[in-house]
Every structure is written in C-alpha cells, then in structure tokens.
Structure 1
Amino acid sequence: MGSKTLKIFDGHNDVLSKLYRSGGVPAADTFKTGRQGAIDLEKSKTGGFAGGFFAVYIPSPIDLDFKFKEMTKPSYDLPLPQQIEVDDALPVALAQMAILFELERQGVLLVCRSASDIRSAMQDNKIAAIFHIEGAESIDPDLHALDVFYEAGLRSLGPVWSRPTIYGHGVPFRFPSDPDIGDGLTDLGIKLIKKCNALGIMVDLSHLNAKGFWDVARHSEKPLVATHSNAHAICPHARNLTDAQLDAIRESDGMVGLNFAVAFLRDDGRMLADVPITQMLRHIDHLIEKLGEDRVGLGSDYDGAIVPKDLTTAADLPKLTQAMKEHGYGEPLIEKLCHANWLRVLEKTWGS
C-alpha cells in the first residue's frame, strides 16, 4: 500500500446528533470549517474517511457524565432509559435529517441510495453518506413515516437504541453480561422488519438484545448486519455479539462493523481510553475467524463514544490501517475491512 491513504467506509457515526445539539442546521457549517468532534471535512481528507452510516438518533434525557463514570467501574448495570413517544421523537429526527441534507447542499457529502452511488462518491472524493436511523422512535405504528423516510433516502435502520420502542427492546449497558436480556421484537417490530425488507432498507442488529436478534434472524430475508458491534468472546459486554450470533450472521452472508467504543473493546469492559490498537485487532481476528474475511468491517461510533486515545478522530485512521499491515494482514484483506465488505453486503441487501 505504500504511503497511500486507504479509503475507509465506516458503519456508524453520530455527527448529526452532535450537530443538532450544537445548534442545528446553522451548525452544519462547522463540518466544512472545522469542529471539535471526530469527523469533519478536513479530518476526513486527512484520514481517508470516505463515508459511512450517518445516524439520526433521538437523545435520551440522561446524564452522560454519570453514565460514563459508572462505566469506568469493574462492573455496572445501567437501567434502560424510558421509551420516547413518536410525537416527541419525530421533530428531532426531522431536524437531524435537515442537517444531513444541508451538508449535501453544501457539497461536502452525497446522500447515497445505492452501492453504485457510494462507489461514484468515493471515485469523486466526496463523502458517501448513508441516511441511517438508530432507534425507530420517530416511526409511527402505521409505518407511514418509514415510507416517507425511504423516499427521502433512508437505507438503514436499527429498530432500537438501548431503550425500548414500540418495535422491540434494546440491550442495556451491562458488564459483565450476555445479551440475553428482556423481550424481543413486538408484533409491530416483525411488521417493521418485513417492510424494511420489502423497501430495501438494511436492518441493523446493533443494540438489539438476544431475543430481538433471533427474531430478526427468523423474519428477515436479508443478510444479518450489525453496523457497530464487537466480539463477546473477548469482551463479555451485553452489547457484544456471542459466537452463536456470529455464526448466524455468517450463515446469512451478513457482516459486522468493529465498534471503536472502548467499553466494548476492553477485556474488563471499562470506559477508559487507554486501549491499544492491538486490542482492536484481537476483535477483528476473532470476527474474521467466525465470519470469514468477507464479512468484517469498521463501525467506529465516532462522535458517539469514547474511543481509543490513538484513534480520537477520523484523521487518525491511517494508524489503524498501518497496524493492520504490521499485524500481517495483506493489502486485499485490509481493503475488504476498510470498505469493500460494506459495499458487498449493501449491494446484496439493496439489490444495486
């Protein structure tokens, strides 16, 4: 690979919710001029960040400082935040969507509706953005909003974040724990999965508990995908995927994007940033062992999590690709991990 900066397509970021909380649509200008967060235009150019899943996320009224402090302890069990009603969630979702389309109007990214759109954007050195919803609180039980969001460009959806919705139940931030916590999808949730299949919206398994995961596996006809999740065998956190879940993902020809959030990387599950990149490679090794080389990618959770101190922003991503090379991964495998596997599974899911 030489000194070439490899293009990275990433499974998850929370730029939109951060811009929403820092001023809404007017704050979109900071993506071009420079912002304190993990991803902006300049950091993307420096690090080879070529695009990814831009999440619309409805924040819960929780004390983040308290949450992160609790997660530095050797064990913790944070209660699930309360459900958010659609009338409260929809205006927030629309506001974040407006930020996404403002970024497109400014010419800093392209909202992509197909794998060919992503390839074209990457070829033109424009950030390729997938409109993703993390937690379906903003979608009414008749799914009218889903139809409208699809026409606006929605191509990926997680039925839950780590709290309940009318569609299913999220997994709590609990360590140590397996993900077999609580009920799975509701009848409306099964309806949502089938409608996503019919429209061509990828279903994201990250944040679902075990019962919800297996409900999707039973009812979805598409590849099983977790955009930002890690290996439970290495870090026994409730948010991570067991080997049985990884086997199901492999059988469906889906994939997993490695989450950079340190609490899901560390053996001890603590939210502390002193995590070496070699620990991330341990997870990738395990995911490759269980899933195969064609079903593993990256899902950074940038702008939504505490990440390893050596990978604080998108500008640092070449450190990860260099570590992959030093770890013994060949160039074809590194390119798969960085972007090719995402393009493969999206093309298979969307049909184009």
Structure 2
Amino acid sequence: MPETSVDTNTLPAVFDGHNDVLLRLYRAGGPKAAESFVTGGPGHIDLPKAREGGLGGGFFAVYVPSDEGDTDHDEMARDSYDLPLPEPVPQDRALQVAMAQIATLERLQELGALKICRSAAEIHISMVEHKLAAVLHMEGAEAIDPELITLDVLHGAGLRSLGPVWSRPTIFGEGVPFRYPSDGNTGGGLTDLGVALVRRCNALKIMLDLSHMTMAGFWDVAKHSDAPLVATHSNAHAICPHARNLTDAQLDAIAASDGMVGLNYATAFLRPDGRMVDTGLDDMLRHLDHLLDRLGESRVGLGSDFDGALIPSAIGTAAGLPALRQAMVAHGYGPELIARICQGNWLRVLEKTWGH
C-alpha cells in the first residue's frame, strides 16, 4: 500500500476488544487496589497510560484464574507445545471471584476513572467526554449456574458481553487449548446447556465472544445464534497456525454474519512460529491485512489482551498505542480505515448486537 500522510494526533481514541486489568487488580487486592489504577503503576493499563496512549475504552474482562496457575508463557516460547487444559472451576468459587472483580469495576466508576456503559450510545458519549468507557465482559461462564439465573442477574448489573468458555471445559462447552501448531480442530462444541446459554444471551442482547471457542463450538454458535459472530481478541490462522486463531472458513462465516474480529496483541498468536516471545509490529500488520481481506473494512478492530499476555515491546503498554497507529499510517492505511479499526467498527457491531 502507498504511504499516506496522516497526523495520528487527529485520530480517534482506541476502543479495545479485551483487557484483563480486573484480574490484575483482583490479585492486588480487588476494590482496595482500584486507586492504583487512577494514580498509575505496574501493568499494561491504568488511567495515566490510557490518557497518554489514546485508549478511550474497551471490554473489561471478568476472568477466574485456575487453581493450577497462569498459562505458562515459558512453555509457549518453545518451537511447538500443547499445554494441558486446566481443570474446571466450581461455580461457587467462580461466582465469588467474579463478584470481587465486578465490585472492582464498580469502584473504578465511583472513583471517576471510567464509565460502565450498557449501550453503544453510552460508549460514544463517554469517549467524546474523554471518560474511559468500560463494557462489562466475562471470559468464561463458570460463574453462571445451569438454570441461567445468574446470567439474568449479571445482565441487570451491566453484563453485555460473554465468552461461554475460556481455555478449559465448562458445563457449557469446551475451550481451545494452547497448542502450536494446530489445524484448529481441537475438541467438542457446545453442550445442551451451552445451546441454552446462547439462546438466552440472544434474548438478553448479550454479545457472545467466540475467541476461546473450539472450532466445533464456533460452528455450534453460528448455528444457534441470531446475532453477529464476534471474536474480541483473535488472529488469523493463515498467518499463525495456532489453535487460538481463526481459519479462513471461520472468518468468512463472521463476515457473512456482519460480525467482527479484534486483533489480539499476544505475540504467540501473531508470530508465524507461534512462540510467545517479542515480535515487531510488522506481524500485527500482516494479520490486519489478512483480516481486512477476509472480513472487509467494517469488521476489523483491536483486541489487545492487555494485562493478560506478552505483547510487542514496540507498544509495551496502553501508553504505547500511538506506535501501532503510526505503523498503520506508514503501512498505507488511510484515516477513515484507521478510524474504523480504532473504534468505529466496534461501535457498529455493538449497536447491531445490542439493538440500541
């Protein structure tokens, strides 16, 4: 693409498809640690870094860590790997952890650090007013009971996006293992309860996140959901054949549903060799080019995985987001396309999914 002259300072703020800052704050003390988000400190995202980098909002994930510990990034630095799936998390424990993380998000709102948004219009207003826009998201449905009563309560509390699984089994389905290389066909799909969960999310207008679904689970959701297909933080399998990435057939189905994909910054899902070690912005641009080719310019966004993964050092933290936008400019993306990728496409698909 030819180079295009664009002043990145005039570009709109980034609305991001996924972060794990609530998990980081949960481990640091939960609501008591919320003030560190306001003042700044360790981690990829806090209020000063967001302001410096032009992060205007995003999906704040509620994620319940496994008893076995975090994903082993050292193992993922190898030439090939197939990490064992963690054991399921009991619903009572998951609900307790989820409540603590949601309380932390509420505390951040009380402190004036962000605004919890329940509609695309609220996101737009919040970003125009330079208030960090937060969408309550759950990465894995372990906290939800088989009767889905908890889902209704969480929706009332502001839940607007849900991934039925993380990379471990739940009563609703199976998750994608951390496996490289992989053809993407890694296990079973939705259970009967998972189908019921999908239908109830459709009824409540809760967006379904397919990022950690198996291939079988992806196609089950495509069959039973009447909403756009969305993967908040996933990349192209054609560039990096990792189990977590989406095949061209999946990307085509997302395009046909008028859904979208948020580019994941995790280096293992960017690098063609699947290794969780540093990489340059060129790998991100290769994935963006492929996603744009398969999905079109109105269905590609950003889904950083900040505070949940190793990301390119050229970005580093949310404060480094201008480096990515400048790389898009140098790559030849025009201002309208960059604006769509940064925020416009997310607002479009959320309005279509939520209905307002």
TM range (shorter): over 0.9
1:339 pairs, out of 343, 346, 355, with 343
Cα offset for 1:24?
A: 1.0
Instruction: Please give the secondary structure, in 1, of the residue aligned with 2:12.
Output: coil
What amino acid is the match of 2:103? A
Distance 1:160 1:249 in 2: 19
1:47 paired with 2:53, answer: yes
1:159 maps to 164
Alignment of 1:249-328 (within 5 A): 249-273=254-278, 275-328=279-332
1:217 pairs, out of 213, 222, 232, with 222
Alignment of 1:1-150 (within 5 A): 1-2=6-7, 3-4=9-10, 6-64=12-70, 67-150=72-155
What amino acid is the match of 1:121? S
CA contact (8 A) 2:230 2:260 kept: yes
CA contact (8 A) 1:104 1:111 kept: yes
Distance 1:24 1:247 in 2: 40
Cα offset for 1:63?
A: 4.2
1:189 paired with 2:194, answer: yes
2:250 maps to 245
What amino acid is the match of 1:291? L
1:90-149 superposed Cα distances (whole Å, 9 cap, x missing partner): 000000000000001111100000000000100110000000000000000010100000
Cα offset for 1:4?
A: 3.1
Cα offset for 1:77?
A: 0.3
Cα offset for 1:311?
A: 1.0
What amino acid is the match of 2:58? G
Ranges in structure 2 where 5+ consecutive residues have no aligned partner: 1-5
1:320-341 superposed Cα distances (whole Å, 9 cap, x missing partner): 0000000000000000000000
CA contact (8 A) 1:265 1:283 kept: yes
Cα offset for 1:179?
A: 2.0
- Residue-pair matches, total: 350
Cα offset for 1:62?
A: 2.7
Distance 2:212 2:311 in 1: 18
What amino acid is the match of 2:293? E
Q: What percentage of residue pairs aligned between the two structures are identical?
A: 62
Distance 2:33 2:324 in 1: 29
Distance 2:11 2:24 in 1: 27
What amino acid is the match of 2:297? E
Instruction: Please give the secondary structure, in 1, of the residue aligned with 2:258.
Output: coil
CA contact (8 A) 2:11 2:335 kept: no
2:176 maps to 171
Distance 2:68 2:238 in 1: 29
Cα offset for 1:85?
A: 1.2
1:10-62 superposed Cα distances (whole Å, 9 cap, x missing partner): 00000001100011111000000112000000000000000000000000123
Ranges in structure 1 where 5+ consecutive residues have no aligned partner: none
Distance 1:157 1:105 in 2: 24
CA contact (8 A) 1:6 1:318 kept: no
CA contact (8 A) 1:5 1:47 kept: no
Distance 2:128 2:340 in 1: 17
Distance 1:278 1:67 in 2: 25
Cα offset for 1:312?
A: 1.1
Distance 1:61 1:307 in 2: 24
Instruction: Please give the secondary structure, in 1, of the residue aligned with 2:59.
Output: strand
1:281-320 superposed Cα distances (whole Å, 9 cap, x missing partner): 0000000000000000000000000000111100000000
Cα offset for 1:180?
A: 1.0
Distance 1:165 1:98 in 2: 24
Cα offset for 1:197?
A: 0.3
What amino acid is the match of 1:115? A
1:206-236 superposed Cα distances (whole Å, 9 cap, x missing partner): 0000000000000000000000000000000
CA contact (8 A) 1:5 1:48 kept: no
